[in-house]
């Protein structure tokens, strides 16, 4: 079974630009979560989507948004990029029925550098 | 707010030695996970611990969970260089698919 895939793997943007990251979950997985990893803040939860609906949201500003498509693929968007948005963005998928808490499997991540 | 704390944050040890990484969390949770991350790589799932007293072992790694003490341990037996990595514990928010991670323990095993 193919794992979680994320595109692009690396991205360089400048302040003020916006960026869209993509995540394809493991086949059959319906829940997709996004995490930000930085040296200073560690791993932080951004949001989780299940059946095209955002079920959970972390403490990030509104510049961070996401969506999920009917095939469970997910995108996250960051608008008006700031230097502090430079991070590794990880996507994780799980089978997760509503309220279920199965293991989340992580993709390789997208490394975003904001200049 | 659920908080997860690991210690130590950095650990340098010699091959062949044993050591334990500790993970404390602040509120009740349904399950606890251990992940491994190699430099520049993603997170690899190691263990899922579901209930009080749960113990899981894979090779030289053994994880345990004490829900009453809100403590999990990851024990490394007779360490080998290939186990060098950063290890994270994570606790799931009850009723949600939201993982709260510890700070990570950077483990370096010297030959």
pLDDT value for B27 = 85
pLDDT value for B53 = 82
What average pLDDT does the segment A34-60 reach? 94
What average pLDDT does the segment B73-79 reach? 96
Distance from CA of A69 to the nearest CA of B (A): 18
Omega within 30 of 0 (cis) for the link into B8: yes
B40 alpha carbon, distance to own chain's centre: 19
pLDDT at A8 > cutoff 70: yes
Assess B92–A contact: CB distance below 8 Å, yes or no: yes
Of B95, B98, B104, the CB nearest to A45: B98
Which has the closest alpha carbon to A95: A26, A5, A19, A39? A26
pLDDT at A101 > cutoff 70: no
pLDDT-derived band of residue A92, with 50, 70 and 90 as boundaries? very high
pLDDT value for A1 = 66
Distance from CA of B43 to the nearest CA of A (A): 6
Please judge whether B96 and A106 are an interchain contact, meaning their C-beta atoms are less than 8 angstroms apart.
Answer: no
What average pLDDT does the segment A37-65 reach? 94
Q: Among residues 39-78 of chain B, which lie with CB inside 8 Å of chain A?
A: 41-45, 48
What average pLDDT does the segment B59-80 reach? 95
pLDDT-derived band of residue A76, with 50, 70 and 90 as boundaries? very high
Strands A110-114 and A10-13: parallel
Query: Among A104-108, B78-82, B94-98, B100-104, which stretch is predicted with the lowest mean pLDDT?
Result: B94-98
Tens of pLDDT, residue by residue over B8-56, are: 999 999 999 999 999 999 988 778 999 999 998 899 999 999 878 889 9
b/e map of A56-92 (b: 16 or more CB within 10 Å)? Answer: bebebeeebbbebeeebbbbbebeebeeebbbbbbbb
Tens of pLDDT, residue by residue over B85-99, are: 999 999 987 777 789
Report the percentage of chain A scoring pLDDT > 70: 94
pLDDT value for B70 = 93
Name the region of B53 (left: φ>0; alpha: ψ -120 to 50; beta: rest). Answer: left
pLDDT value for A6 = 97
């Amino acid at each position: 079974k193919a794992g979680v895939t994320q595109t692009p793997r690396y991205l360089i943007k400048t302040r003020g630009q916006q960026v869209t990251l993509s995540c394809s979950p493991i086949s059959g997985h319906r829940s997709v979560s996004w995490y930000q990893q930085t040296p200073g803040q560690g791993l932080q939860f951004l949001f989780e989507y299940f059946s095209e609906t955002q079920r959970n949201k972390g403490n990030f500003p509104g510049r961070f948004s996401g969506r999920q498509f009917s095939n469970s693929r997910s995108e996250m968007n960051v608008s008006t990029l700031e230097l502090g948005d430079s991070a590794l963005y990880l996507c994780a998928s799980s089978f997760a029925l509503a309220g279920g808490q199965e293991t989340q499997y992580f993709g390789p991540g997208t490394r975003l550098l904001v200049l | 707010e659920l908080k997860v704390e690991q210690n130590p944050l950095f650990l340098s040890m010699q091959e062949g030695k044993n050591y334990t990484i500790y993970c404390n969390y602040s509120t009740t949770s349904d399950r606890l996970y251990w992940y491994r991350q190699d430099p520049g790589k993603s997170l690899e799932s190691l263990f899922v611990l579901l209930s009080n007293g749960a113990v899981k072992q894979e090779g030289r790694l053994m994880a345990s969970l004490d829900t009453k003490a809100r403590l999990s341990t990851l024990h490394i037996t007779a360490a080998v260089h290939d186990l060098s990595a950063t290890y994270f514990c994570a606790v799931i928010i009850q009723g949600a698919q939201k993982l709260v991670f510890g700070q990570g323990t950077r483990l370096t095993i010297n030959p």
